Structures are given as C-alpha cells and as structure tokens.
Amino acid sequence: MLLTREPREASPREGAGLGVEVGLSFPFLAAPPPAVLRGEASLEGAFLGAGSGDAHAALAEALLRHLPGAAPSRVYVGNETCERLLPTPRAIGSWVASAREGRLAVSLVLPPLSRDGLAKAEEAVRALDGVEESEVVANDWGTVHRLRSRYPGLTIVLGRLTHKMLRDPRLADCFDSPQAPMAARAALCRSGELAPGFRALMERYGIGRREIDPFLQPLEADEWESRSEKVSVHFPYLFVTMGRACLLGAMHGEPAEKFVPGAPCRSECRKYAVEFRLPVPGENGAVKNLLNRGNAYYHAVPPSVIERILGRLPSSRRVDRIVVTVPGDGSGWRQ
C-alpha cells in the first residue's frame, strides 16, 4: 500500500500528485528501508524523517502543496558517482522484493564505469531481468552503448551527470538576473541537447527518458519542452562535480596514500558528509553551501528554485517525474 494524504489505498500511479511520478533515491543505503517501501511511511514521513534539515523540510512542504496527494511510486537503487557502491545481485534482489511488497517500481542507478565496473554493472542489470517497470539509469555513453548492445529490451534512462550545463553554485544563479548579458543567458541557460546530432543519438539508443538537475539558472523553455523524451528532475541537490578520489575515504590514510584514485576505503560516505561554505564573489561575505558526498559535491538548492520548477509541472508536457534523494542511511548524515 502507498499512502496518500487521503486515508485510502493508492496504486503507484494514483499516488503521484497530478500525474507526476515521485521517486525516492537512496544512493548510500545498502539495504532497503522497509517502512518506506512497504508504504508504512507517508511522503512527509519519508522526507522529514531524513534528518537532513531545511532542504528536505522545504521540499516536503512544496511538494505536497504543488502535488497534493503525492506518494512515492519508484525507488532508485545505487550510486551515480562511485562504482564501489554498485549493489550486488543479492542486494538488488532484496530491494526488488521490498519494492514489490510496496508496489513500487525499481530503477538501478549506475555511475560512470571503468572496464571492471562495467562487468559488475552487468551482473546488477541481469538481476533486474523480469522485474516489471524496472529501468537502468546510465551516467556515461559507454555504459549506454554496452547495455543497449547486450540488452536490447532494457529500458535505459540517461542520467543527469551527462547533462552539460553550468553548475557552479557561486555563479549559476547570476544568470537569473536582468543585468546578465543576453548572449550569456542564452548560452548558459540551455544545453546542446536539442541539436540534430544529439537527437539522433537519443533515437539510436532508444532512450525515452533523461534526468536533469534543479539548476539555479532558469533553463530556457525549449530545454524543458522541445524534446521527444520524458524528463525527470532531481531534488533537492544540484550535482556540481565529482572526481576519482574521495575526501572521506582519504581521511584515515597516511599522507602519501591520500587522494589516490582507487585507494581502499571504508565506505565512510554511507554515514558521513562534509559541508563547505564557499564565499560568493562580490557578495560581501555571503556564502554558498557545498556538500561533499563520497567522491562528489552537491548543492542544496534554495526554496525559490524548487518553487520555480514545481510551478511549471502542471503545464509541462515532458516533465512527469521527480526524484528525491534521501541522504545517508535514511536517518541523515553525520557532518
């Protein structure tokens, strides 16, 4: 059973407010959270129980105001930036079983992959064989090519790491200003994904959905609507950048062993996060928060950005899903 704000059972599609599907992503969770996946936690409980402070509190309030009756209908398994966190087939089996009990669909998230990572990813993909409405989110084109070549019937979603846009939170929202040069706004508020070459690539690989970030700069209307594929939007974190070395994983190493790509770690990212406060140029002491999660950096977008994006959903023909990251082990990170 999924819980809506009204006391009745709901199917996954009914549970999504105004026809917009809601997915919950647990990028650092090794095992499924039973209460959420069985439908024993409402959308409010899932977000507000995340222990993640203002970002999720503001998002929960905005979602339930813009999408009345919304409830989770899909769960995202796996991490988008680190192949060490690839779930095993056995772990995927546990997620699938729990999701089926709660009538939730399953999405497997893959990071940019090495050759060894590709082999492990294929094992994970095969664990989804026969799972209805399952899909795989690929975050590099090599993975897209490999999966389409070997699994022609697989539903592949193009992950948000492949969406090439300005992401620096110290600069991006400057292009929401009338003082920004029009040429700069035109260049930095859209990608090249509407070009014929990119359209042909999407068609070649049969990709019917792409994921994007809640960008601080307002994207041009065409970036949302002039697509053939459906669009999923992530909240509340904007992906900023990633690397091959991990800050948290390096903390216990000797100086010569720190920040070495491929160095061993203790999966510290499952429990801990590091928050940076970055000075904003020319803003007299103002700062932007940057959250380090494993080998990646994110920015929790302000309520104004959440409102701007959610406000366009009722009239959008392309955006029909939002994906909410639930941090840490579901009870929040230690910072």
Q: Is the pLDDT of residue 7 over 50?
A: no
CA pair distance 101, 104, nearest whole angstrom: 8
Residue 248 lies in a domain: no
Listed residue (70, 66, 51, 67) closest to 10, CA to CA: 70
Condensed to tens digits (0 to 9), the pLDDT of residues 208-237 reads 999 999 999 989 899 999 999 999 999 999
- Report how many domains make up the chain: 1
CA pair distance 78, 208, nearest whole angstrom: 21
Condensed to tens digits (0 to 9), the pLDDT of residues 135-149 reads 999 999 999 999 999
Residue 277 lies in a domain: no
Q: Is the pLDDT of residue 13 over 50?
A: no
Residue 69 lies in a domain: yes
Residue 247 lies in a domain: no
Residue 291 lies in a domain: no
Yes or no: say if 113 and 136 are a contact pair by the CB < 8 Å rule.
Answer: no
Element spanning 98, H or E: helix 89-101
Domain containing 214 equals 2-240+302-325
Residue 266 lies in a domain: no
Q: Name the pTM for this structure.
A: 0.88
Q: Give the single-character DSSP code of 108.
A: E
The per-residue pLDDT for 203 is 97
Residue type, 77: V
Yes or no: say if 332 and 52 are a contact pair by the CB < 8 Å rule.
Answer: yes
Of 61 and 177, the structure prediction assigns the larger pLDDT to 61
Residue 54 lies in a domain: yes
The per-residue pLDDT for 269 is 84
Listed residue (84, 38, 140, 99) closest to 294, CA to CA: 84
Residue 128 lies in a domain: yes
Strand pairing report for 237-242 and 9-10: unpaired
CATH of the domain at 92: 3.20.20
Q: Which two structure tokens, joined as six digits, stand for 86?
A: 């690839």
